[in-house]
């Protein structure tokens, strides 16, 4: 894993063993969030800065910094995140469609160095996204 600047406002870290991301603090119950789903593998909650009427973050409990840090042993976990996204989309009534996104790295728009899946819906999505 590459070194990353410590920025507690965005959950970034230099040493993943010394600082928790905002997502890890939510998972650990140290920060409040509008939690919609919890199981032994992930937690899902509403984004505090939504980019769509429905914007949910699905975060694995395992602290994986980014998509680049996945191991083959994580494939079932990643599949589970997408199953949870589908279930949440149904619960949120996103019958006309929705988008799932994983940002990776600075240029990919990743702002919190804890892998997470965005579920966005409730409006027509455009392409390219930005």
**CB–CB of 58/77 below 8 Å?**
no
116 in catalytic set: yes
Per DSSP, 48 falls in state S
Q: Which of 10, 80, 114, 116 is catalytic?
A: 116
Rounded Cα gap, residues 79 and 85, in angstroms: 10
Q: How wide is the angle at C-alpha 113 spanned by C-alphas 5 and 2, nearest 5°?
A: 55
Question: Annotated active-site positions, please?
Answer: 116
């Amino acid at each position: 894993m590459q070194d990353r600047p410590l920025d507690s406002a965005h959950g970034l870290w230099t040493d993943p063993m010394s600082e928790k991301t905002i997502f890890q603090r939510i998972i650990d119950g140290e920060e409040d969030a509008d939690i919609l789903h919890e199981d032994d593998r992930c937690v899902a909650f509403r984004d505090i800065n939504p980019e769509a009427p429905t914007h949910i973050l699905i975060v694995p409990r395992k602290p994986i910094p980014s998509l680049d840090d996945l191991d083959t042993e994580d494939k079932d976990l990643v599949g589970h995140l997408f199953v949870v996204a589908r279930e949440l989309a149904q619960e949120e009534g996103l019958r006309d469609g929705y988008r799932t996104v994983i940002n990776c790295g600075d240029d990919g728009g990743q702002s919190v160095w804890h892998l997470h899946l965005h579920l966005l819906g409730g409006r027509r999505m455009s392409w390219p996204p930005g």
